[in-house]
């Protein structure tokens, strides 16, 4: 295999692993946060505004981790910085 093929295969595999592992944690965290918030709302319905507002801020912060993993995987697939290096190395030969 030439270096372009190796970089392509490594980029696709790494992007898949990044999405697979990088989404498991935030999804489990979001599920636990919602379950805890619903439990808190059932126990203290008068504090629903505060609980809901805090829940949404927390969910946004948790979801940003999954979005960062998605961005990294898209960079690896579509804007890989190693492509330019390999192209420059092959052009010099």
Q: Which two tokens stand for residue 58?
A: 């927390």
**pLDDT for 4:** 81
Domain ranges of the chain: 14-91
Residue 93 above 70 pLDDT?
no
Give buried/exposed letters for 9-31 (b at 16+ CB in 10 A, else e): eebeeebeebbeebbeebeebbe
**pLDDT for 86:** 78
Q: What is the mean pLDDT of residues 53-75?
A: 93
**DSSP state for residue 80 in the 8-state scheme:** -
Greater confidence (3 vs 63) lies with: 63
Residue 49 above 70 pLDDT?
yes
Is residue 12 within 8 Å of residue 74, measured between CB atoms? no
Architecture of domain 14-91: Up-down Bundle (1.20)
């Amino acid at each position: 295999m030439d270096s372009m093929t190796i970089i392509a295969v490594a980029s696709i595999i790494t992007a898949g692993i990044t999405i697979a592992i990088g989404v498991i944690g935030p999804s489990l965290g979001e599920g636990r946060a919602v379950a805890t918030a619903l439990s808190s709302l059932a126990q203290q319905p008068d504090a629903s505004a505060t609980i809901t507002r805090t829940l949404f801020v927390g969910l946004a912060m948790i979801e940003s981790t999954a979005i960062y993993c998605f961005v990294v995987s898209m960079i690896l697939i579509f804007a890989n910085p190693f492509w330019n290096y390999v192209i420059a190395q092959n052009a010099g030969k």
